[in-house]
A and B are shown apart, each in its own frame.
Chain A
Amino acid sequence: MKLNSLAKLGGVALLSAVVLAGCGSKSSQSGSKKQEISWMTPQSISTMDTSKMIDLYSAQVANGTNEGLLRMAKNNKVDPGVAKSYSVSKDGLTWTFNLRHSKWNDGTPVTAKDFVFSWQRTVKPKTASQYAYIFANIKNANQINKGKMSPSKLGVKAEGNYKFVVTLDKPQSYFKYMVTQPEFFPQNSKVVNKYGGDYGGNSTKNSYNGPFILKGWNGTNDTWKLVKNTKYWNAKKVKLQTINFQAVKTPSTALNSYNSNKLDYTTLSGTLAANNKNNKAYTVFPQASTTYLEFNQKKIPALRNVNIRKGMALAIDKKQMVNKVMQGGDILPKGFVPASMSKRNGKDFADQAYVKSGTDSNLTEAKKYFAKGLKQVGKKSLSLTLMGADDDDSKRATEFVQSQLTKLPGLKVTNQNIPFKTKLTRMENQQFDIGLSAWIADYPDPSNFLDLMVTNNSYNDGRWSNKKYDALVKKSENQDANNETARWNDMVQAEKILMNDQGLVPLYQQGQAALLRPSVKGVQAFTTSPQYDWAKASVK
């Protein structure tokens, strides 16, 4: 190779860069009300197979492209979906869904058999669905999942093409929310069988029965589109023609793209959220997720002392943590069960079960409790390790908690930030002293949180145990399961016990700070995953 030819080539490349620089992109914003929006997502889709979906962002897309028996609606209500109506037997065990005549995007009808097929597929061990446990309350699901029974024995039945009957093990009043989730969506057996292991691997190897159709996702790329599905039963009501998705992994990039009208929605975090609080488009979407501290009572006997736990809980200034440290859209906690997730007769569960001391901050009180506790366990000082994941938010949170806890005389706290998965495994095996955890609800019912703290629940890492609490949770799931009021009261009492005994320390409730362009109307946001529904959205 000769040097001069190389130099010329370089010259050409440079020149073209300069020339092209002149014709930069023009702003896509025009005055018309084109029914098209651009949506930011922090991660790309990992799979569109609803049996194998485990992340929030894939579920979010699936909620746009497919539909289950019911659809989540505002204020803890459900709207009809593929089922136009449903009824529950008196004992609460049999749920009958009457399906409408709706179609897949290939024109074939969506029938009760598609639900039977999908649910059996998720539960059978061969599919290896990591979310199969969510079906646990459906008759025989556990036995099938363990490989001890044939999938055909699952408590679901198609009576004709348009009646779908589900039999539960125990009454479950929130089952209506569960069937709105992607894991419970129907699957087109022909398409699943055609693609086998590749099913859901890209936008064409799938079938859709929801408001939109997924286009342009090749299995690994970062941009794709949701295009209006003309075969959707309620297509008349769907106003948006296109939703352009873009996976943006750098928050500042997303903000810049929003500011140049390339995106109509973007999430914000940390300082970016704080800097944009006065923006007209700034919105905080509360999430049914609590970040909390767990005390390992199995490993550290001193943590079995309630005064020590209370002292530590009171020492942490949650207000400062939310406003100055985390800075995003996070909100002050009211308890373990997050606020604005579950309401009954217009009253929020978190308000009804509120125990001031459980989430309060008061250093003088804290010192008193802690000193009393130390005395009771016969110790002069305690040295504990605080374990958290190694992402930015976890690091900030653990550093702050450490700084607050060391204000207690006689307490020494060392931080340990390790990769998320390692942290999970260690905490599951009680290899920690204090741990930073977070729980995101699968469905908007308090039981989703309260179940975690029952003695020997696999997620009760700290092994907190309280007989009264266990009894109340059990009662809410058994004898009171069909009595809405009694069930609700059981759960309120349980949460109060948990907070009074400081079984854990709620630090904050997560909220998603975001910019949503004010011209985009009607996007429905929920506290549980899938977070958004665009079926009724429009540009005005």
Chain B
Amino acid sequence: MVKYLGKRIFYIILTLFIVSTITFFLMKFMPGTPLTNQAKLTPSQIHQIYKQYGLDKPVWQQYLVYLAGVVHGNFGVSFQFSNQAVSYLIGSRMGPSLIIGGQGMIVGVLLGLVLGSLGAVKANTWIDTTSTIVSILLVSIPSFVLAVLLQYYLGLKLRWFPIADWGGFIYTVLPTMALAASPLAETARFMRTEMVDVLSSDYIELAKAKGLGKVGIIYHHALRNSLIPIITIIGPLTVNIMTGSMVVENIFSVPGIGEQFVKSVLTNDYPTIMGLTIVYCAMLCVVLLITDILYGLIDPRIRLSGQSN
């Protein structure tokens, strides 16, 4: 296990190194500068601004300085927020994104599991149909539409939750609901299909024959075995939540990082784009690592070390 983890962490670092290198050079190919009023700036001012951002050095030097910075968690200074270090910008805005993203994931996957299992256990009944309709609906409505609807009905009309803003658990409810929709629907669909399969397999028949109760069979035998494909989709779902959260954050005025990402792309704020790409990449690597470890925990047939004894 330790050996496996070490190997994986080495690969994560390698991936991050490659990603940061590619991002750096891609950014260098794109047009754009930190200058806003170029036509009105004197050459000596432009030189000062370039110097301030370290853009006066040759590209290979910039690359080394950048790499050294990345190792120390220093991504440089943002172009948009003239005095702010990118690491501070990310640090101070990452929290809310993680909270709503994490909650959305947990709520979505758990509800999805329940809904999917219900559909499978009561296959071809009205419960199954309802569960299918709900998941199809939730997967087809884009999160931003759902967000606007939730905001209008639960926020403005019923006044159950704040319309927007940030400041405590109550403010996270609507964004969480909007973000949970897609993982909920995906999980429910996968869960139902898998569980229907599992429920018709021989060992379930055997368990039934042994006289085990229905609840016991589902809980001990069917559920755990149906979880493997769910673990597989958690990775892509996390990516979806990361990207989907940008719009949802905007709609609910969550002071998160998603909006900054979009804005930094629109304003050619390279230090922020690069910093965020690396942070997102690192998060994704960690999520993938966790799902791989979960495989082993749920399915004993999968050995992490890859060696069969």
Q: Which residues of A contact B41 (CB under 8 A)?
A: 130, 132-133
B-chain residues with CB within 8 Å of residue A81 when the two chains form the complex: none
Q: Mark B252-293, 1 if CB is under 8 A from A, else 0.
A: 110100011000001110000000000000000000000000
Which residues of the partner chain B approach A485 to less than 8 Å between Cβ atoms? Answer: none
CA distance A399 to B252 in the complex (A): 31
Contact B173 A21 (CB under 8 A): yes
B37 at the interface (CB under 8 A from A): yes
The interface-forming segment of B42-50, B129-137, B192-200, B207-215 is: B42-50
Pair B166/A250 contact, Cβ less than 8 Å: no
B253 pairs with A17, CB closer than 8 A: no
Is B217 positioned at the interface, with any CB of A under 8 Å from its CB? no
Q: A17-B173, A419-B266 are in contact. Are A54 and B37 (CB under 8 A)?
A: yes
* Residues of chain A in range 6-21 having any CB-CB distance to chain B below 8 Å: 6-7, 10, 13-14, 16-17, 20-21
A46–B81 contact, CB under 8 A? yes
B99 sits at the interface (CB 8 A): no
Alpha-carbon separation in the docked complex, A425 to B33 (Å): 11
Instruction: How many A-B residue pairs have C-beta atoms within 8 angstroms? Tell me.
Output: 169
Interface stretch (choices B9-17, B87-95, B236-244): B87-95
Q: Is the CB of B160 within 8 A of A130?
A: no
* Distance between Cα atoms of A142 and B162 in the complex (Å): 52
Nearest B residue to A420 by beta-carbon distance?
A: B266
A interface residues, how many (CB within 8 angstroms)? 66
Which B residues touch A223, using CB under 8 A?
Answer: 165-166, 255
Across the interface, do A262 and B163 meet the contact criterion of CB distance under 8 Å? Answer: yes
Residue of B nearest to A143 (CB): B42
| Known contacts A253-B251, A262-B165, A54 near B43 by CB under 8 Å | no
Binds B, one of A196-204, A267-275, A353-361: A196-204
Contact A13 B223 (CB under 8 A): no
Contacts of B223 in A (CB 8 A): 3
Which residues from A are CB-within-8-Å of B228? none
Given A3-B224, A260-B155, A260-B156, does the pair A54, B36 have CB atoms closer than 8 Å?
yes
* A:185-230 near B, CB below 8 Å: 197-201, 218-223
Question: Is B142 an interface residue, CB under 8 A from the partner?
Answer: no
Does B82 contact A49, Cβ atoms closer than 8 Å?
yes
Chain B neighbourhood of A296, CB < 8 A: none
For the complex formed, measure the closest distance between the CB of B290 and the CB atoms of chain A, giving whole angstroms. Answer: 11
Expressed in whole angstroms, the minimum distance between the Cβ of B131 and any Cβ of chain A is: 17
Task: For B31, list chain A residues within 8 Å (CB).
Answer: 421-422, 425
Question: Which one of A54, A125, A200, A249 contacts B259 once the chains associate, using CB atoms below 8 Å?
Answer: A249
Q: CB within 8 Å of B: which of A117-131?
A: 125-131
Q: When chains A and B are docked, how far (Å) is the Cα of A199 from the Cα of B156?
A: 40
Most buried by A among B32, B110, B148, B227: B110
Q: How far is the CB of A203 from chain B (nearest CB, A)?
A: 13
A222:B52 contact, CB within 8 angstroms: no
Given A146-B43, A220-B92, A250 contacting B165 (CB threshold 8 A): no
Instruction: Decide if B38 touches A24 in the complex (CB within 8 Å).
Output: no
The smallest beta-carbon distance between B232 and chain A, in angstroms, is 17
Are A220 and B151 in contact, CB atoms less than 8 angstroms apart? no
Given A49-B83, A250-B253, verify A24-B224 contact (CB < 8 Å): no
**A252 to chain B: which residues have CB within 8 Å?**
148, 151, 251
Residues of B within 8 A of A200 (CB): 83
Residue interface mask A254-279, B partner, CB < 8 A = 1:
00110110100000000000000000
B250 within 8 A of A: yes
Contacts of A424 in B (CB 8 A): 38
Most A Cβ at <10 Å: residue of B43, B47, B223, B253: B253
Q: B residues within 8 A CB of A16?
A: 169
Q: How far is the CB of B129 from chain A (nearest CB, A)?
A: 24
Point out the residues of chain A lying under 8 angstroms from B106, CB to CB: 10, 13
- Complex interface bits, A86-127 against B, C-beta within 8 A gives 1, otherwise 0: 000000000000000000000000000000000000000111
B253 touches A47 (CB 8 A): no
Contact mask A216-251 → B, CB, 8 Å, 1/0?
Answer: 001111110000000000000000000000111110
B35 at the interface (CB under 8 A from A): yes
**CB-defined contacts of B63 to chain A, threshold 8 Å:** none
Whether A253 lies near B83 (C-beta < 8 A) is no
Residue-wise interface mask of A (1-37) relative to B, using a CB-CB cutoff of 8 A (1 in contact, 0 not): 1010011001001101100111111010000000000
Q: Is the beta-carbon distance between B39 and A47 smaller than 8 angstroms?
A: no
B residues near A430, Cβ cutoff 8 Å: none
Contact call A25/B162, Cβ cutoff below 8 A: yes
Q: Point out the residues of chain A lying under 8 angstroms from B32, CB to CB.
A: 421-422
Contacts beyond the supplied A10-B107, A257-B165: 13 A-B pairs with Cβ under 8 Å: A3-B224, A7-B110, A14-B110, A24-B159, A24-B162, A49-B83, A129-B45, A133-B41, A142-B42, A223-B255, A262-B164, A421-B268, A428-B39
- Give B contacts to A, CB under 8 Å: 31-32, 35-45, 47-49, 52, 80-84, 88-89, 92-93, 103, 106-107, 110-111, 148, 151-152, 155-156, 159-166, 169-170, 173, 223-224, 227, 250-253, 255, 259-260, 266-268, 294, 297
18 CB-based A-B contacts, threshold 8 Å: A7-B110, A13-B106, A14-B107, A17-B173, A25-B159, A46-B82, A125-B48, A146-B43, A197-B83, A219-B83, A219-B89, A220-B89, A253-B163, A262-B164, A262-B165, A422-B31, A428-B38, A458-B39
- Using CB atoms and an 8 Å cutoff, list the residues of chain A in contact with chain B: 1, 3, 6-7, 10, 13-14, 16-17, 20-25, 27, 46-47, 49, 52, 54, 125-133, 142, 145-147, 197-201, 218-223, 246-250, 252-253, 256-257, 259-260, 262, 419-422, 424-425, 428, 458-459
5 interchain residue pairs of minimum CB distance = A147-B44, A10-B110, A458-B39, A201-B83, A133-B40
